[in-house]
Structure 1
């Protein structure tokens, strides 16, 4: 990948969409005492940067190949939508393989972008089964597989994000820190490759979800590794294995330059940006901003920071879960199992222990653990995390038996 090739790809891209904005965000700049610039890839035609790599792949393939060949991809998210958009633009036919479990909203959006030029095939319950079916189909029809990140033309296309940033920053301004999400590594490979000649390596911070740290673990091992388990909450970046080509481009970085952020912390960012800025982010799109809050304030104070907002394809049916996770992470909501005496007035005595800002969000009688006692699941919300310390003190003083299960993943998943 050369800067000249990336610049040419960026210019070619203007035939399907204008550059995405680079915005100085006043709210975040005040919060972190820095100049925080957001590269708004959530404002592309498909609400993510994935259209860039897909466009560049198709552009190059069609320069050297037969337009009658069928293009194929496997994806249940942003890659599928970028692929479909570009198929329609170039008026070539493609097949999108998606797992049977893909939400209907994503299927409908992919079909809308591709129109008559794509077919959608639902295969398998998980992505691996879907991907295997796509690979078999490509061989059967002698088609063209369009990978989501592990390909030179995809990386080159994603690097156009960096080319635009260089043009959009005020003259004479260079970022002290560039923060970017990492899933398969296509975006990070392109950004660091394009800007690597003018920025020191320590100017890059890559961010992964805590439940899918494929780059961090690969850097530790010195080679790409496949994670045994992945938390799929951050679906746009929950990748079990970073691409081989992408790892080769990123292996020069230290594992200290890769931050893994908790999924629930990402939810706090999503809620804050929605409530304060009116910006809708998908979990992967909030990774970079979540990392800012986790850094030492001195690392940001007075600096020029560019954060990549990678996508905004958020299904609002997930909003209650995101809000729940955000409140738990912020310490504003907790769940307890109470051992409550089975006698008249016991519930009233318990309610009298609550403070003026404490609210019962859930109350469920579980079972009698003994003839004179019963187990109750209770969820409590409050306005200040410090209120829980006072509340637990009153629980102890009253001799109330309780267990905090807020952070007990097994119990929380079974009961809550």
Structure 2
């Protein structure tokens, strides 16, 4: 197929159809499954705790329901009511406190989890579920690369994979990118020869990875200034920076788009694919519609050569969106 507007061969990886509505189900689901499997007293001793009022929290609540275990999600007071309703609808115990994620996370780890551990009869199994910075999360995300290698037509050892020229994803804290890079390294590696490049996309106002790459050191942003709040990590995981800065042969490219470009992509993808995704996902899609895909991945190629490239775009999904929000974004940015 051709990616809309990009005049390049490719595929959409529809992570927006995961159980929780985003790719977060892969990594967080894997972490939680492993926690249950390794519980000394069995799964009955496990209680999950998350501090995300966004897609990570939804993935935690969704996986907890599937595993038959309780989940408590502490969210900041700024969390949209429809996200709180989604969490409660999944059976999670929701606590609202603090003005931002850092305050909610501090309350979770400093007050809520210790209270469980001291008041729980028997072995205390309060399991903290981070949004992105954990090896179990990266292992879960890595599964999408294995699926691509097996399913994309080509001459690879599994019947595919060698025809993938690039994978495009967004970056918040870096969990998605780390899992993809880990999978590319494991499957292709030095012995396999040509490997897919990875285009990692952020929005202006949340580009902590790009700032770190430019500085040559991990950078903590003073604030988040973007509508793409799901990308709003002021500092990426150390592992994400390691892939970007200390492994130059890994084929990682950092890119930044504007909020307006993300909104344009959201609106066009809704028209083209009949799927509504949030602005963080729109950042990835923006590279398809604004020409960045070719600028970063196909400079110097003729149109015929570019048309032969096979690019996989990870439609990461996300639940912090509805039609009213999209309409407000379109008015704000004149789209």
Name the count of aligned residue pairs: 299
1:317 equivalenced with 2:324 (yes/no):
yes
Question: Higher mean Cα deviation, 146-155 or 68-77?
Answer: 68-77
**Which one of 33, 55, 77 corresponds to residue 29 of structure 2?**
55
Contact 2:50 2:73 in 1 (8 A): yes
Deviations 1:303-354 (A, max 9, x none): 11111110142222212222124535xxxxxxxxxxxxxxxxxxxxxxxxxx
Partner of 2:72, secondary structure, is: strand
2:309 paired residue number: 303
Alpha-carbon contact 1:265-1:326 (below 8 Å) kept: no
- Aligned-pair CA distance for 1:73: 0.6
1:317 aligns to what SS in structure 2? helix
* Structure of greater relative contact order (alpha carbons < 8 Å, 6+ residues apart): 2
Q: Structure 2: which 5+ residue stretches go unaligned?
A: 118-125, 300-305
Alpha-carbon separation, structure 1, partners of 2:61 and 2:25: 9
Q: Which residue of 1 aligns with 2:114?
A: 139
- Pairs within 5 Å for 1:357-372: none
Counterparts of 2:82 and 2:247, CA distance in 1:
38
* 1:206 has 2:200 as partner: yes
Q: Which moved more, 1:156-165 or 1:290-299?
A: 290-299
8 Å CA contact 2:169, 2:201 repeated in 1: yes
Q: Secondary structure at the match of 2:334?
A: helix
Structure-1 separation of matches of 2:216 and 2:194: 22
The gaps in structure 1 that reach 5 residues or longer are: 1-23, 329-416
Q: 2:96 aligns with which of 117, 122, 133?
A: 122
1:95 matched to which residue of 2? 72
CA deviations over 1:223-272 (Å, ceiling 9, x no partner): 32210121141011121110123333443356981001001110000111
Counterpart secondary structure, 2:327: helix
TM-score normalized by the length of structure 2? 0.83
Task: Please give the root-mean-square deviation of Cα atoms over the aligned residues, in Å.
Answer: 2.1
Correspondence 1:183 to 2:160: no
Deviations along 1:134-186, one digit per CA (max 9) or x if unpaired, are 11122332322110110010111111121221122124352111111111101
- The two structures have a TM-score, normalised by structure 1, of 0.67
Q: For 1:56, what is the secondary structure of its paired residue?
A: helix
Counterparts of 2:145 and 2:281, CA distance in 1: 16
In 1: Cα distance, 2:75 partner to 2:257 partner = 28
Cα distance in 1 for residues equivalent to 2:25 and 2:282: 19
User: What secondary structure sits across from 2:313 in the alignment?
Assistant: strand
More strand by share: 1
Q: Partner residue of 2:9?
A: 35
